[in-house]
Chain A
Amino acid sequence: MIELDKAISNQLLGFVVKAFCFYAVWQISYDFFIHPDGRVDDFLALTVISGAKYLLSLLGWDIYSLGRLIYIDGYRSVEVLNGCNALALMVLYSGFIIAFNGKVLNKVKFIIFGVFIIFTLNIVRIMSFSLATVYFQHHWDLFHEFSPFLFFYPVVLFLWYQWTIVGQGTTPSQPRLSLR
């Protein structure tokens, strides 16, 4: 029993240490190299804007973009700042997958899949922000404040939960249904 407790605490400690190291390395790399360079942030922001603009124009909206701004003619623009490009969220997501136990190949697959999902959701989020300027600009701040809870957090938590099951090579126990 004591050995089991020790094993659990070791695993937990391993998770916490790995996660801490990952985020520390990320923060240092971001502050000293990635942010001053700016290309990663620019790439993410501009591709998200292009995607949102393309999809909204497909839906028939008269939409324009100017650098990091996207706007529907006659309405307020939406600016995709560094904090809006979901890079921090992608890193947070990846950090959990890396820190939690699992095979390396599975981790890589899960990270690529999750980052793609987050990127796609961010396009949908920016689209919804542009439409919000048309339909409820007065409530824009409230909508923006809670938008991560709507678009990202349920999906990321679900993916993390799946990783704790799939990443270990186990499948979730099936509920037993019986008519007797």
Chain B
Amino acid sequence: MKNKLFTTTALLILVFNIILAQDPPPLPDAPNQGPINHLVILAIGGVFIALKKYFDRAR
């Protein structure tokens, strides 16, 4: 009897848990994606900094 009560209570808690669990709201549309672009421009900037430093040192 005790065992049955325990099982029923556990099942009820489990079922209520599933019923009450809330998913996050659905996505309204396809996602925006934001990769970091133009790294080549940054690399060129880095080369210019290096060049400037080497030529400044030469002076």
Contacts and interface: CB of A to CB of B under 8 A. Distances in A.
How many chain A residues sit at the interface, stated as a range, is: 35 or more
Contacts, number: 104
Interface string A105-134: 000000000000000000001100100010
Contacts of A145: 37
Nearest to A130: B32
A153 B45 CA distance: 9
B30 interface: yes
A157 B33 contact: no
B31 A73 contact: no
B4 to A, nearest CB: 40
A138 to B, nearest CB: 12
A150 B34 CA distance: 14
A81 interface: yes
A141 to B, nearest CB: 8
How many chain B residues sit at the interface, stated as a range, is: 20 to 34
B46 A160 contact: yes
Contact of B31 (A15, A69, A99, A144): A69
Contacts of A74: 25, 28
Contacts of B27: 66, 69, 71, 76-77
B1 interface: no
B36 A140 contact: no
B24 A66 contact: yes
Interface of B: 24-25, 27-39, 41-43, 45-46, 49-55, 57-58
